Structure 1
């Protein structure tokens, strides 16, 4: 990690760095255990200052012409592009994504989503006539954004880019586990010409800074990405001021492989999606549902394919799975692996303990369980690590029933002999997005979940609408 990243550790309030808070929070490289930086432990006072700056900036920013707001988002995108390597190394250092993944996906997604929302702004229906009424869409106001550590730049940009285009101002509370990237982004926004107070960053913990932001009467909307438990708490504290709350929460996504699917493709793509970012992805397909008659054949292919997922130093280009984001996360994942073993799932790859050749760091072994039942913990709870549950089914009706049997509904997949059959099954899945036969990520399609996976949608037109109020003017 370059020295410059380690110095970007202050809050960013009203267009300048700011200190303050109850001590500091160490930022630990999970691959080495080394403390690479510290951020201030902000709380109510820092949130108050940031919200005040955002409220004062809102009036003028919301009146900036739309084309100028969109152009500024594109300049921020250009700034991200110009500091691409620095940001990639920051992400790898603070939360452990393999450097190749950081360069391609961790940086590629915010580049794509910001370009996507900026590109649709001009044609968006900002106003329309309904009978004798003029219906207009206006910015919701000050947005409190609370983001997780697993995609520390993408999750921020997915909220900030549409909020800025909508005419909102933002106070960001990034994850204290991976906060350094937000500091770089703050500098980028200033270099792009974003007026002071429009984008603010306050570091701190969820129970302190996060709750102060969600409860603040000067915040008009909270956009949160994280766990179900934390999202539930955000919703509770935000309820006191009846503000809008958008939640993008957890997942336990099912990948249904039908009996006429291309098994080789289903295994390759499915395993890759489960192990993506070390399994620390809310949309990861962590349950692989296969016909009982094909179960053993699929498991054999999975075990062979899993051997190619090298675990190790995330700064090495060849590494495919780095450490978990922290030692706390490593312990969480390993506890689920042990739970799978104790509940009788068939361990066919990986298991508890450090990967071979590694004696330290927050690493886990990529793990595959076979013959998993729906009543097992590893089939119901989000593990957030490289752990796959293979689940046999008897017919398509049972496969759909299993897929829909958790509290989650964020993502999923279907592999079928024909697209038509795949779409038919996809329509029956109670989840916010489904990939059929490995359909590609679409940066302007709506992203969000059913059930306890959240409320609201991000990305594209649907994400932009989250940051807008609707007003009727009768003529």
Structure 2
């Protein structure tokens, strides 16, 4: 066990005002791997004051200076990649293979893309006789989750620093280890004093204090829709910008001409990846009713191939990230059974032979009705709902009948058919024929999946204000 009791504030590791200690639990072993302190309002005030003091000088740096800084950060990140992978593995349970090939590279990708955008971004343009200027918004409070800790941390910090903002980061108290290593990387890269600060803590303590702080100019939050609503309410009185990436219940529409073995396998593994703990996971598989039985058979075969020991990285999953999440997933599986959903794989309890860790059986429900809770609530575990439909129009209606609108998936051998369906989906993103996400394109959702966008130039511009100078 390691004690990580200090916060990174104003360019140094400092002892917090708070003395409330929180254990960090390895979800694979259920053992304590570290202890942190949960900060309080006074800790937040100290970090915000440092960021505010640093903003005047850092916002005046040139793009060339910030390019050099990002290059040093990227170099340090690459050198510490194995330590970052081990931290993610310990703090939230990702298999080491996934931590090395997905979690750590995702973070690196956001750093690299922020650098590339910075190299070419036009911060000032002429519009007639007016000069339009894009300037850093100010002090940014960043609140990040436990499910993809490095991905969500870097896709916020990288553009914020690239444009000249200063930052106070609150990583998830359940998965803070990689964030603290990242702070070391930034310190070694020479990030100026006060530009980047880390305060550990929970939502009610540090998250609320950041959200309502008068000297925070922007809050960027990733997490549940419930928590996002609380953040927005806390931020409202100071009329700061709030960017949110929240929950999802993404529909995966397989059309009748899809290559079923490939499409179903891709859909099942996409749902199970990262133990189902991805906001954009394809958790609703919509299939033609005539093909339902065939789809279910393939899906069960794929679920049976999932392993929990990383012996087959392509189908390996770890535990869900904590005991609270494990219990929530179990409750939602029980609720689906009570509502009459047909269980065809998995179910409640740990996988056979697993006695320790927050492992969840890869679970599939078939013949799911769109009104059932398993088709409407975000489970955030390796649980798939297969929903039959009778026409493309009905498939689109079912897909859009959700409070969420983060992502969608469409598979067809006819690309034009897939494109036509994609245009009808009320979601911020759509994957056609198994295409992966593109870090240059915007990431974000409609409806209760949030507002604002992350990644690439769209994420870059979330951290900019716009000034018009007339008669320039």
Q: Same fold (TM over 0.5)?
A: yes
Matched, 1:437 2:433: yes
- Does residue 25 of structure 1 match 2:22? yes
| Partner in structure 1 of residue 423 of structure 2 | 427
Superposition deviation, residue 440 in structure 1: 2.3
Q: 1:283 to 1:86 in 2, by over 3 A?
A: same
Distance 1:268 1:261 in 2: 12
Larger mean Cα displacement after TM superposition, 277-286 or 11-20: 11-20
C-alpha displacement at 1:196, in angstroms?
1.2
- C-alpha distance in 2 between matches for 1:346 and 1:92: 33
Match of 1:467 in 2: 463
- 2:90 is paired with a residue whose SS is helix
Q: Which residue of 1 aligns with 2:158?
A: 161
From 210, 227, 230, the equivalent of 1:230 is 227
Q: Name the CA distance, whole Å, in 2 between partners of 1:444 and 1:72.
A: 21
Q: Are the counterparts in 2 of residues 9 and 183 from structure 1 also a CA contact under 8 Å?
A: no
The alignment status of 1:321 with 2:322, answered yes or no, reads no
Q: Which residue of 1 aligns with 2:39?
A: 42
Q: In 2, distance between residues paired with 1:152 and 1:25?
A: 18
Q: SS in structure 1 opposite 2:215? A: coil
Which range moves more in the overlay, 359-368 or 452-461?
Answer: 359-368
Partners of 2:258 and 2:71 in 1: how far apart? 41
- The 8 Å contact of residues 99 and 316 in structure 1, kept in 2 or not, is answered as no
- TM-score with structure 2 setting the length: 0.98
State the distance in 1 between where 2:289 and 2:315 align: 34
Aligned partner of residue 346 in structure 2, secondary structure: strand
1:98 matches 2:57:
no
Given candidates 191, 198, 201, the residue that maps to 1:201 is 198
Separation (CA, whole Å) in 1 of partners of 2:71 and 2:385: 41
Q: Contact 1:228 / 1:250 at 8 angstroms: preserved in 2?
A: yes
1:14-49 Cα distance to aligned partner (Å, 9 max, x none): 111122214111101111111111111101000000
CA distance in 1, matches of 2:83, 2:4: 12
Give the aligned partner of residue 87 of structure 1: 84
Hey, what does 1:171 align to over in structure 2?
Answer: 168
Deviation of 1:319 (Å)? 7.2
Instruction: Specify the SS of the correspondent of 1:277.
Output: helix
Is it true that 1:341 corresponds to 2:337 in the alignment? yes
2:367 to 361, 365, 371: 371
3-state SS in 2 of match to 1:421: helix
Quote the Cα distance in structure 2 between the aligned partners of 1:329 and 1:437. Answer: 31
Matches of 1:445 and 1:272, distance apart in 2: 23
Unmatched 5+ stretches in structure 1: none
Return the offset for 1:316. Answer: 9.2
1:355 and 2:332 correspond: no
Question: How far, CA to CA, are the matches of 2:296 and 2:464 in structure 1?
Answer: 47
Superposed CA deviations along residues 119-167 of structure 1, whole A, max 9, x for unmatched, are 1222223111112110000000000000000011110100000000111
For residue 241 of structure 1, give the secondary structure of its aligned residue in structure 2.
coil
Deviations 1:308-328 (A, max 9, x none): 11124x699687111110111
The one-character-per-residue Cα deviations of 1:253-280 (angstroms, maximum 9, x if unpaired) are 0000000111122112111110110000
4+ aligned runs moved over 4 Å, structure 1: 314-319
CA shift, 1:88, in A, is 0.5
User: C-alpha separation between the residues in 1 aligned to 2:159 and 2:373?
Assistant: 37
- Once the two structures are superposed, residues 76-135 of structure 1 have per-residue CA deviations (whole angstroms, 9 ceiling, x without a partner) of 122111111111111111110111000011001111121112112222231111121100
Find the counterpart in structure 1 of residue 412 from structure 2.
416
Query: Where does 1:71-220 land on structure 2 (aligned, <5 Å)?
Result: 71-220=68-217
Say whether the 8 Å CA contact 1:47–1:202 is kept in structure 2.
Answer: yes
| Structure 2 partner of 1:395 | 391
RMSD: 1.3
